[in-house]
Structure 1
Amino acid sequence: MSLPILYSFRRCPYAMRARLAILAGGARVELREIVLRDKPAAMLAASPKGTVPVLVLPDGTVIDESLDIMRWAFADDDAGAPDLALIAANDGAFKHHLDRYKYADRHGGDPIEHRDAATRLLDPIETRLTGNRYLGGGCATITDLAIMPFVRQFAATDRHYFDALPLPALHTWLAAHLASDAFAAAMLRLPPWRPGDAPARFPSHKALDLVPPASG
């Protein structure tokens, strides 16, 4: 039986959270790493908007929104209902300011102004994590996996600045994710996919041994 096909780009935070959810939810896919400047025709035929991630199910159904892929991955797993308001703030205002901070040369404006605005949007996450290991309590859920890749990107833009922020719970939460076997498994390096390549199963059997499914 053929596996669902996931078109992905390793460093994209949207694709990253889809891969993390597939790992945590216990799903299996064929992973196709793409090059953004040379997107494969098969991916564009499935999803003409041309953004990753794109999941193509064996029956031809296409899921090309990262949160919908996460829901698909967790369909048979009690991972807790996602906090849609917190995710919306991440995907909306936080991502807006993050892009203008990290990629200031593309957007213009003052990157420090956008950095400071993004920093203020981390306060609700710090509040939620104070006294809790994860955003949903004691276990990682869709909400954690959806937001973490963007906080990681923010932190990596200026690590000295981020490390100096008075957000101890957020620092602990991010460090735990980045040190996890799940993150290492999700960030595997693959050569760009080409038609005719042997399928790359994700997660591999080794990753399945390392990464237990999340629970709510």
Structure 2
Amino acid sequence: MRARSAIVASGLVCELREVVLRDKPAALLDASPKATVPVLVEPDGTVIEQSLDIMLWALRQNDPDAWLPSSVGKVSAMNRLITDCDESFKFHLDRYKYPQRYGNVDRQVHRGHAALWLHELDAVLTRRSFLCGEKFTMADAAIAPFVRQFAHTDLDWFDIQRWPALRTWLLRWTQSTLFDGIMKKYPPWMEGQTPVLFPG
């Protein structure tokens, strides 16, 4: 979702190969032995394996909506938010959502730790419309998918939390044309098929 968001925002077009991870095609393993998605292969064969790196790759080529901050201070603030999300929040999100994968840890404990960070986000969003100001940027696109995962793990519980600004922010994203575009379903890629272009 992160990588697709940035590609849409940049106005670039790529060939999309939808992968079912339980049935990984050889082409994925050849391109990236880590065998997780997303993976981007440039025309010269360069492989980019991390979603944030793909976002930066796209936006550094073309950034018509100024998703990348223009000042050092805003870059630092954006990077701090994304790092907090990817390191601490996602650690607890994974264990809240999939406790069985981590030795049946106490998912409620991890939900509580993750919720502390969401309280902080709600406070930020009480002061402004988006995470880094009054417009949607890379920080929002990078963090919203994980907040959505957290919310949908137990939506009834999420909806009664005192996070009005956070819920408004998340709802604005999930009702956007950008969200509709990145959530479109594609059939699994097969060797020899007609290329599928994204966005398309």
TM-score for the superposition, normalised by structure 1: 0.85
Q: Would the aligned equivalents of 2:59 and 2:68 in 1 still touch at CA under 8 Å?
A: no
Corresponding residue for 2:185? 189
- Cα displacement (A) at 1:139: 1.3
Give runs of ≥4 in structure 1 deviating > 3 Å.
none
Q: Identify unmatched segments of 5+ residues in structure 1.
A: 1-15, 205-216
Deviation, structure 1 residue 196: 0.6
**Cα distance in 2 for residues equivalent to 1:109 and 1:71:** 35
Q: Does 1:199 align with 2:195?
A: yes
Please list the CA deviations of residues 123-173 of structure 1 after superposition, one character each: whole Å capped at 9, or x if unmatched.
Answer: 221122113111121211111000000000000000011111111110000
Shift of 1:51: 1.0
Give the percent of matched residue pairs that are identical in Structure 1 and Structure 2. 52
For the pair 1:99 / 2:94, whether they are aligned, the reply is yes
Structure 2: segments with no counterpart, 5+ residues: 70-74
Alpha-carbon contact 2:15-2:197 (below 8 Å) kept: yes
| Matching of residue 66 in structure 1 with residue 51 in structure 2 | yes
Alignment TM-score, normalising by the size of structure 2: 0.91
Aligned to 1:88: 83
In structure 1, what residue type is equivalent to 2:48? I
1:137 and 2:137 correspond:
no
Q: What code does the residue aligned with 1:25 have?
A: S
Provide the residue aligned with 2:72 in structure 1.
Answer: none
Which of 172, 176, 183 is 2:168 aligned to?
172
Q: Is the 8 A contact 1:126 1:167 kept in 2?
A: yes
Aligned counterparts of 1:62 and 1:114: Cα–Cα separation in 2: 34
Q: Report how many residues are paired.
A: 189
Kept after mapping to 2: 8 A contact 1:80/1:136: no
User: Which residue type is aligned with residue 150 of structure 1?
Assistant: F
Indicate the RMSD between aligned Cα atoms, in angstroms.
Answer: 1.0
After superposing the two structures, state which structure 1 stretch, 105-114 or 177-186, moved more: 105-114
Write 1 or 2 for the structure with the bigger share of helix.
2
**Equivalent residue in structure 1 for 2:35, among 25, 42, 50:** 50
Provide the C-alpha distance between the structure 2 equivalents of 1:89 and 1:30, rounded to a whole number of angstroms: 32
